[in-house]
Amino acid sequence: MKLLKYTRRIHNSIKTRGLYNTINLITDDYFFKQKFGVDTGGVYELKELKTLGNNADRGVYYQGTNYRYFKKTMQKVIVNFSESTFIDFGCGKGKALIMAGEYGFKKIIGVEFAKELYDICLQNIEKIKPKVDPINFEILHKDATEFEIPNDVNVFFFNNPFDYDLTEEVVKKMDLSLQANPRKIYVIYFSPLHKAVFEKRNYEQVFELKAKNKLEAIVLSK
C-alpha cells in the first residue's frame, strides 16, 4: 500500500512539476535525511491518527516540506533571525522546524494535534539539537484553534494544514496578535489553496514559487 501511494505521488509530481523538478525534489529530501538523520517522510491521512479536538475532518494529510523550496522562500523573509520567532501550524514530524533551525531563530514553535506525529517530532528535535545553533524549541500537542499566538511571533509557516474555514480562524488569531503588538510579519505558505483568506485580510504577496505548472508556495507580509 505504501509503495503504491509513493508511486502515485511520483507520477503526479512528474505530471505537474516535470521530470527534472521531481528528480531534484527526491534528491533534496534524500540529502536532508542524510544530513540530519531524522524521520520526516511519508504521507499520513489524519483519519488514521489520534487527534485532539473535533477538527480532524478540517485538517489536511501530513507531508513534509521540500528542503530546496523552503530555502528559496526563506530568502524572501527579511528579518533579524536572532531576534525573531518562527511558528509552524500543523508541524507534523517537525521538518520545517528543523530547517528553520539552520537560520538561528531566537525561538521556534511547532503546533501539532496528531499524537503520533507530535511524538515523532519531539524525537526528531532532540536528535538535531546538537547540529544547530542553541535555539529554544517549543513543541506543543494542541489544536491550532485553541492556541494563543505569542505577540512576538513574526514568521508564520503553513504547509496547507487546514481547510478554508480553519485557515480563516487561525489568520484571525494572527491579526489579533498583530493588534496587540503591531509589527512586520511574514507568512510562508506551501500548497496555498486558501491564499484568498490572506488576500481578503490585506496580506501582501511578496513572492511566488512555481515548478512548471504547480504553485509550490507563496510568501506574504503584513
Q: How far apart are CA 64 and CA 124, in angstroms?
A: 13
Mean pLDDT over 21-38 rounds to 80
Residue 91 has pLDDT above 70, yes or no: yes
Q: How far apart are CA 10 and CA 23, in angstroms?
A: 9
5: which strand partners? none
pTM of the model: 0.86
Q: How far apart are CA 210 and CA 39, in angstroms?
A: 26
**Nine-digit cell string for 52:** 485532539
Residues sharing a CB contact under 8 Å with residue 40, sequence separation 6 or more, in sequence order: 32, 33, 64, 92, 93, 94, 95, 98, 124
Residue 52 has pLDDT above 80, yes or no: no
Residue 210 parent element (H or E): strand 204-211
pLDDT per residue over 97-117, tens digit each?
999 999 999 999 999 988 888
What are the structural domains of the chain? 2-221 (3.40.50.150)
Residue 56 has pLDDT above 80, yes or no: no
Q: How far apart are CA 162 and CA 168, in angstroms?
A: 9
